[in-house]
Structures are given as C-alpha cells and as structure tokens.
Amino acid sequence: MTATLTLPERRIGLFLSVLLALMGLFMAAAARHGVMSLHGFMALGLGLGLVFLIGGSLYDPAPPHRRPDRYYDAPTRFGLTLTLVWAIIGMGVGVWVAALLYWPEATPPWPATSFGRLRPVHTTGIIFGFGGNALIATSFHVLQRTSRARLADSISPWVVVLGYNLFCAWAVTGYLMGSTQSKEYAEAEWYADLWLVVIWVTYFTLYLRTLARRNEPHIYVANWYYLAFILVVAMLHIVNNLALPVRLTTAESFPVWSGVQDAMVQWWYGHNAVAFFLTAGFLGMLYYFLPVRSGRPIWSYRLSIVSFWGITFFYIWVGSHHLHYTALPYWAQTLGMTFSVMLLVPSWASAGNAIATLNGAWHKVRDDATLRFMFVAAVFYGLSTFEGSFLAIRPVNSLSHYTDWTVGHVHSGTLGWVAMIIFGAIYTLVPQLGGKRQMASPRAIEWHFWLAVTGTLIYVIAMWNAGITQGLMWRAYDRNGALSYSFVQSVQAMAPYYLLRTIGGALFLTGAVLCAWNCRATLRGAREGAADRPLVPQPAE
Amino acid sequence: MLKLHYNLEKISMGLVAAIIVAASIGGLVEIAPLFTLDETVELPGDLRPNTPLELAGREIYMREGCYACHSQMVRSLADELDRYGPYSLASESAYDHPMLWGSKRTGPDLARLGGKYSDDWHVAHLIDPRSVVPASIMPSYPWLTRPLDTALLPDALATLARLGVPYDKEMIAAAEADALAQSRPGTEAADGFQARYGARPAVQAFDGDPSRLTELDALIAYLQSLGTLTDAPYRALAEGAP
Ligand code: HEM
Ligand code: HEM
C-alpha cells in the first residue's frame, strides 16, 4: 500500500491515521464499556496499525514511474481481497443460519451465536461487505479506464476502502453483541451511520474529481450507474437512519420515525437498497466488464439510456409493495404495485441489452467460464426482476409475503445476479491486477461456475417450494370453515426445504472458497502496483 | 431527446442533478402525505405507551432479533383474521420507534399475543421452546434469566418523550423504580406505578420470581402487552370499517 505513495502522501496518510486512532481512543474513553467502547478500540487499533505501517515505511523509495499518466490500481486490488474475505464470512454465516433453521441446536449456547444475531451478520456481511467492497473496488477501476484518467488523488481511495470496512466491521460485531437498530439492512447504530456518511462523501467527491479530469468527452454509461448508486444510497441512508441517541456515550438510539411513517421510510430505504446498491451499482459493473470480456460493444446505446432513467425514476416508488394489506394507506400500496409492474420494462431492457451484446460471441460464452458467469448473471437479473414484478401484484403478494418465497426471490437476485456478476468481474480483473495473462487455475473457474449454478438452483427451487407450500397452508380452510393447519404444522413442512437450501448454500460457498484460493494463487508474487498501467484506451470505450 | 442526453453525458454535475431529481419524486409523493392524513396520524383515545419494563423488553426483542422471524402486523386477509385476530391499524404502532412490523414469518405473528399464554408458558418456551412445542425451530434463550440492566431507562424515556411519546417528567424520573415495581405485585411501589400508568398494564411477577428483576421479566411484560395498548382494532373490526 505505502509503496505506491509519495512522501507527502505518506505524511498525509500518517496524519489521518493518527486522527483515526485519536477518534477511537476518544470513543472508547467516553463510552467506557459496552459496544461503543469496543468499537472505539477497533478504530484505535486500525489507526495505530496504519501509523506503524506508514511510519515504518515513510522513507522507503518513492514509487518509480511518472505517476500522473498511470492508473492507480492498488486500492482496487486491496478492495477485491476484502471482497473475497467478506464473501467467505457472509456466505459462511449464511450457511450457518440456514442450518439453524433445520437444526436449531447447531450453535453454541451463547447469546452472540443465536439465530437472531447471526442473521443480520449474514445480510450485512454479504450485502455491504461482499457487495459493497466489490462495488467500490471495481468502480475505481472502471472510473479510471472509462475516463482515461488517474484517480484524483492517492489518499482518498484508501480512506474510502478502509473507512468503509471499519463501518462493516463495526456493524457486524455490534450485532453479535446485541447492538442493533433492528431496521432491516440498516441495523448499524447511530455513530456507525454517521461514520459512513463521512466515508460516502469522500467517495462521492473522489468520483466527481476524477470525472473532472477525464480525457473522454463523454461519461460512459457504467459511470452513470455507479453515480446513481453513490448518490441515492447516500440519500436513503441519511433519511432512514435519522435517530436520537439515548446518550452520546452509548450505542442505543431511537429512530425519529415511528409506526406507519417508519414502515414506509424503512421500505423506501429497503427496496432502494436493493435498487441502488444491489442493482444500479452492479449494472455499472455489467456495462463495463461484459463488453470488455466479450470484446463487443454494448448492443444498444439508446436502450441503455432508456433503462437507466427508467430504473432511476421508477424504483423509488416501489418500496410500498413490501406493505401490501398492511396498515399503510391503500393508495400508497397501489402506487407501489403499479410502478413495480412498470419497472419490468427498464429492467428487461437492461437484461436484454446485456444478452444481445453477447450476440455473435456465443462461442466465447461456451468456452470461457468467466464470460458465462456474466451471462448467467444477466439471465438471473431478468428472472428475478420478472419474479419481483409478479410478487408486487397485490393478490400474489397476499400469498408470498412473510413466506420463504420472498427469501427465494432474494437469493435468485443475490446469488444468481449479484454474486455471479461479481465473480465474472473478479475473474476478469484479477489476472490484470496480478500482471498475469490468466487466472492461476482456469479449471477451478469452471468448477466454481458449476458449483455456483447448481447451488443457486437448489437454493431457489427449494425456497419456491417452501414459500408456496407455506402460503397455501396458512390460508387453507377445511370443509367446516376452520383453518386446516396449525402454524407449527407449516413449520414442520419446511424441514426438507430448509435442509436442501443448506446444501445448495454450501455448494455456493465452496465455489466462493475456490475463487478466493484461485485469486490468491494468481496474485501471489505479483508486486503491488504491477498493474498500475499507462493510460491507454480500453476496449470498452 | 437523444441529442439532449448526448450533451448531458458531458456534464457530470448535470448528471448528478438529474439523478437527484429523478430519484426524489417517488419518495416525496409517497412519504410526505403520511405525516398529514387522518388515517395515519389520528390516535385512538385509549392508546397507551409502553411502560418502562415493557420498553426494556422491547429492546431485548430487538437485540435478540426476534423480529427476524416474527411479524407484528396482521394483514387484512380472512385467514389472518381467523388465525391471529383483528387486523393491525396504523395507530397501534404510532409510539413505536422503530416499528417492528417484520417481513418474515418463520414463527407466527405476534401482534395479538398479549394474554394468549400464561407467563409460565413464556418462561418455559423462551428458555427451551422444544420443551413446550416439540417441533419448534425457535432458538432457546437460556441467558435471559440474567438481571435486567435498567440504568438507561430514564434517558430512554426522555429521548422518546422528545420524539413525541407521551411520557411526563414524573414517569421519566421514576423509570427505573417503575420497571422494578411492575414485576412486584402488591407492593407500595406497584401502587405508585399504577398511579402513573393506570390500571391497564399488568403488574405481575412475570418470570415467577418477584425477588429478582430479570431480562425475562422485561421480555414477557412486553410480549403480554402486544395488542393490548388500545382496543381500537377490535372496535374497527366490530364496526366493519374497511
Ligand atoms: C452461501 C450462500 C447463502 C446462503 C446459504 C444464504 C442463506 C440465507 C438465510 C438462511 C437467510 C435467512 C432467511 C430467513 O430468515 O428465513 C438469508 C437471508 C438473506 N440473504 Fe442470504 N444466503 C446466501 C447468500 C447470500 C448472498 C450472496 C446475498 C447477497 C448478496 C444474500 C442476501 C440475503 C438477504 C438480503 C437476506 C434477507 C432476506 C429477507 O429478509 O427476506 N444471501 N440468507
Ligand atoms: C423489477 C425488479 C424487482 C421488483 C419489482 C421486486 C419486487 C419485490 C417484492 C414484491 C418483494 C416482496 C416484498 C414482500 O412481500 O415483503 C421483494 C423482496 C425483495 N427483493 Fe425484490 N424485486 C425486484 C428485483 C430484485 C432484485 C434484482 C433483487 C436482488 C438483487 C431483489 C432483492 C430483494 C430483497 C433483498 C427482498 C427482501 C426484502 C425483505 O423482505 O427483507 N429484488 N422484491
């Protein structure tokens, strides 16, 4: 990390690390005990670690080449490593919570390892740890290539990556210790939320400053998506997390929203976390890596404009489809339903655009597992958005809501689309970052591909069956007009599906472990900065 | 149009502004009215806020992630009315910061749980669900027998009061004592508690042992209060309101 920084940059880095350590010390001292003090110590530890790292190499030789005309890929490489670490943590815990639903005693009798605390570790670890790091790391790469410019400075990318991961680590350790706001996908406590705002502003300004230096008149479509991701996530995060701390020295806080307003704000956030975190950002990834890997330009420029604005405008309306038949006013539910159905148009336009891009390169899809990952991602994107629009229709939702059908939909989106496109991007990027022609083991990619596809199909099909069975059992009446099944009978009926899901998840996790091993083998021996290439045009432009 | 966009792509701040505008409209239209409509802001006269002990229990409910498996929102569908009771109204959770409507029913809905089971049942069920319901996949919570930490309660009530929950100064000052009192029926402190919160909140030795105030006391007090903070849903159902 430090080898790629100049002396003045190292000094700034040192200064910021000291600040971080002081902030941590202050937090730990103010809170004195509990989660917040532990989190203070974590920040202190990170700060001190960085002080030693940078301080120890302050006067090492400066980076060799003339830097302004070279890309800066060291943060991308570091970010991808973290992506894989979080993938294994997040999916490992995913398999664990899946097992707990089949075998509730499969956990030590400690508070920290009970289902309710592990589940948000899975969702946060996987969405923000795995997904978020992948987005940040690839966005740096894509931004530079499509702008033909180096990142605006060499310090802020590190601030973003390290600060963001401190947030993720705070969040998941907090849940284990019982600290949570209980808002789905926004469980982290108030100071972590504030910290994330600081990091996010740094990220946004870095993005704009780099765009301002671009040597291309046009901002490439991938960047529109990354920009929408950064901007809208900031808006959602701030509004949904507005809270009053009980004391400034404790983690506990109360959200300012309550009741039905809170429900609407929460799902406005929740669904747009799906839209702008799990969709827009990854579409950015798709729009860059798919053309690069297949060697073909995006099929239709016009279609990409229509789908971008369609997605940005329509998605914001759909959050209320999480609240059908609840105490949310009827008109708001109807709006959510209507826009969800309309959303299918731009969603399929994007998926179609991606698949049509591969037209003429089908032989590559057949031979190249990396490209196949991206192809499958586009297909699952199409499938899960179709399913989503269908689930948003009120009568369908009356059956699916609260059941495992939702979980099946979630994972057809996250395993089939999000994780697959990430793996496709990783297998494209990592050899380049390691200065190699290809991944260390192409066969392992092939294995990973089939493990991932099989795992996803088992998971999703099991959950479809589970969800529909559950929904039908809950609403079944016998001839005398009494409910046919007790709730516990519906719980018992889930057992085989929960077991299958655990197996599917384990296959998927195995694939991810293979990927991590393969990346390590590819990057081993490559010098940091080996990939900081001269600014030359890239095929996607 | 295409030409216009062609130019927009050259101006980063233009893109930024356009994204912000496009992504703000939907939220404004759907969220802002909820702060003004009668349907969503009118409160029934008999709605009471949680007592300090119930509030502590609610925090435990959140801490343990019970909301990940249990909803608290009965939808207006026939089978849900038959299984759980009257459908939920917006006003019922008006004092809930945050709401705990939930999105997944791995276990049953709890919105109408209050009074359904005895305290003893809850104690046994929470400590080992399979001792009561053999097929249950709910986690066991043996550690809930530890003492309840009430130190934050006064500040918690004060914070909620600032957000509009009707706790008065006296309630805030007595929060810790009231938490204890609610689990000790027949004591003088319990009378003081009832003077502040009225006769409706149950005063019981929730975990069966009045000599210790435990996390179980708090959680069970909360569970027994679910669906009993107002009678409005029963009235709405009787009147056949939509
Ligand atoms: C190894 C693969 C995985 C396994 C075994 C797994 C397992 C699970 C389980 C058991 C749940 C809880 C479901 C419930 O409460 O009924 C869950 C929820 C969830 N998982 Fe995963 N998961 C995996 C991968 C992923 C990935 C890669 C992502 C995202 C990128 C993801 C995102 C989510 C989300 C968003 C939820 C919450 C769903 C909801 O509340 O409806 N999962 N997962
Ligand atoms: C056109 C696009 C989509 C629409 C209209 C849509 C619609 C829906 C609907 C109706 C639900 C169920 C709400 C409920 O009953 O509680 C849902 C849940 C969910 N969807 Fe989608 N979906 C879409 C695409 C996606 C994609 C691509 C992903 C993932 C990458 C995704 C992730 C999720 C998650 C995480 C939830 C669960 C939220 C929760 O209950 O915790 N969705 N979606």
* Test site for ligand 1: of A279, A414, A490, A507, most ligand atoms within 8 A of the Cβ: A414
Question: Given an 8 Å threshold on Cβ–Cβ distance, is B30 in contact with A104?
Answer: no
Ligand 1 contact via A97 beta carbon (within 6 Å): yes
CB neighbour burial string for A180-202, b if at least 16 within 10 angstroms, e if fewer: bbbbbbbbbbbbbbebbeebbeb
Q: How far is B118 from chain A (nearest CA, A)?
A: 19
Q: How far is B93 from chain A (nearest CA, A)?
A: 4
Most confident of A1-5, A283-287, A434-438, A523-527: A283-287
Would you say residue A17 has pLDDT above 50? yes
C-alpha pair distances (Å), A142 with each of A137, A368, A398 = 9, 22, 42
Would you say residue A529 has pLDDT above 60? no
ipTM: 0.94
Q: Which two structure tokens, joined as six digits, stand for A347? A: 């969603």
Confidence of residue A524 (pLDDT cuts 50, 70, 90): confident
Position A531 scores a pLDDT of 53
Position A540 scores a pLDDT of 44
Position A539 scores a pLDDT of 45
Interface of B with A in 183-242 (CB under 8 A): none
Report residues of chain B scoring pLDDT below 50: 242
Measured CA to CA, the distance from residue A126 to residue A120 in angstroms comes to: 9
| Contact partners, residue B37, CB within 8 Å, separation at least 6 | A329
Using CA coordinates, name the residue in chain A closest to B13: A208
Residues paired with A253 in a beta bridge = A245
* Residues annotated in a binding site of A: 122, 271, 321-322, 409, 411
One-letter amino acid for residue B183 of the chain: S
Position B41 scores a pLDDT of 82
Measured CA to CA, the distance from residue A398 to residue B234 in angstroms comes to: 22
Would you say residue A536 has pLDDT above 60? no
C-alpha pair distances (Å), A282 with each of A462, B36, B124 = 26, 37, 47
Q: Which two structure tokens, joined as six digits, stand for A495? A: 């057992």
Position A538 scores a pLDDT of 47
User: Dihedral angle at the C-alpha atoms of A198, A199, A205, A207, nearest 10 degrees?
Assistant: -160
Q: How far is A481 from chain B (nearest CA, A)?
A: 10
Domain spans in chain B, listed from the N-terminal domain onward = 2-40, 52-240
- From the list B26, B31, B76, the residue facing A265 with the nearest CB is B31
CB atoms within 10 A of CB A397: 25
For chain A, what's the residue count?
A: 541
User: Dihedral angle at the C-alpha atoms of A283, A289, A293, A299, nearest 10 degrees?
Assistant: 50
Measured CA to CA, the distance from residue A56 to residue B109 in angstroms comes to: 57
* Test site for ligand 2: of A410, A459, A470, A474, most ligand atoms within 8 A of the Cβ: A410
Q: Report CA(A132)–ligand 1 centroid distance (Å).
A: 16
CB atoms within 10 A of CB B238: 10
pLDDT in tens, A319-345: 999 999 999 999 999 999 999 999 999
Question: Given an 8 Å threshold on Cβ–Cβ distance, is B142 in contact with A317?
Answer: no
Q: Which ligand is nearest to the CA of A120?
A: 1
Using CA coordinates, name the residue in chain A closest to B55: A254
Q: Which chain B residues have a beta carbon less than 8 Å from that of A264? A: 30-31, 34
One-letter amino acid for residue A350 of the chain: S
pLDDT in tens, A429-475: 999 998 888 999 999 999 999 999 999 999 999 999 999 999 999 99
pLDDT in tens, A117-167: 999 999 999 999 999 999 999 999 999 999 999 999 999 999 999 999 999
- From the list A101, A107, A326, the residue facing B88 with the nearest CB is A326
pLDDT in tens, A184-239: 999 999 999 999 999 999 999 999 999 999 998 899 999 999 999 999 999 999 99
Position A274 scores a pLDDT of 87
Question: Given an 8 Å threshold on Cβ–Cβ distance, is A235 in contact with B35?
Answer: no
pLDDT in tens, B55-109: 999 999 999 999 999 999 999 999 999 999 999 999 999 999 999 999 999 999 9
Q: Please check whether residue B104 touches A, CB under 8 A.
A: yes
Task: Select from A528, A267, A459, A259 the least CA-distant residue to B47.
Answer: A259
* Arithmetic mean of pLDDT over chain A: 94
Which residue of B61, B99, B159 to mutate against A (max A Cβ within 10 Å)?
Answer: B99
Q: Which two structure tokens, joined as six digits, stand for A325? A: 């038949």
If you take atom 2 of ligand 2, which residue's CA is the nearest one? A385
Q: Report CA(A98)–ligand 1 centroid distance (Å).
A: 8
Q: How far is B73 from chain A (nearest CA, A)?
A: 7
Helix axes A133-147, A420-433, angle to 10 degrees: 60
CB atoms within 10 A of CB A486: 14
- From the list A114, A261, A475, the residue facing B79 with the nearest CB is A475
Atom nearest to A273 CA in ligand 2: 35
Q: Which chain B residues have a beta carbon less than 8 Å from that of A231? A: 16, 19-20, 23
CB neighbour burial string for A508-522, b if at least 16 within 10 angstroms, e if fewer: bbbbbbbbbebbebb
Question: Given an 8 Å threshold on Cβ–Cβ distance, is B103 in contact with A246?
Answer: no
Mean local confidence (pLDDT), A489-503? 97
Question: Given an 8 Å threshold on Cβ–Cβ distance, is B5 in contact with A246?
Answer: no
pLDDT in tens, A66-90: 677 789 999 999 999 999 999 999 9
- From the list B83, B91, B162, the residue facing A483 with the nearest CB is B83
Position A528 scores a pLDDT of 57
Measured CA to CA, the distance from residue A418 to residue A512 in angstroms comes to: 13
Tell me which of A3-17, A36-50, A185-199 is least confident. Answer: A3-17
Task: Select from A141, A134, A129, A133 the least CA-distant residue to A171.
Answer: A129
Measured CA to CA, the distance from residue A162 to residue A1 in angstroms comes to: 12
Q: Please check whether residue B173 touches A, CB under 8 A.
A: no
Q: How far is A194 from chain B (nearest CA, A)?
A: 18
| Contact partners, residue A283, CB within 8 Å, separation at least 6 | A225, A311, A350
Mean local confidence (pLDDT), A35-64? 92
Which fold is adopted by the domain B52-240? Cytochrome Bc1 Complex; Chain D, domain 2 (1.10.760)
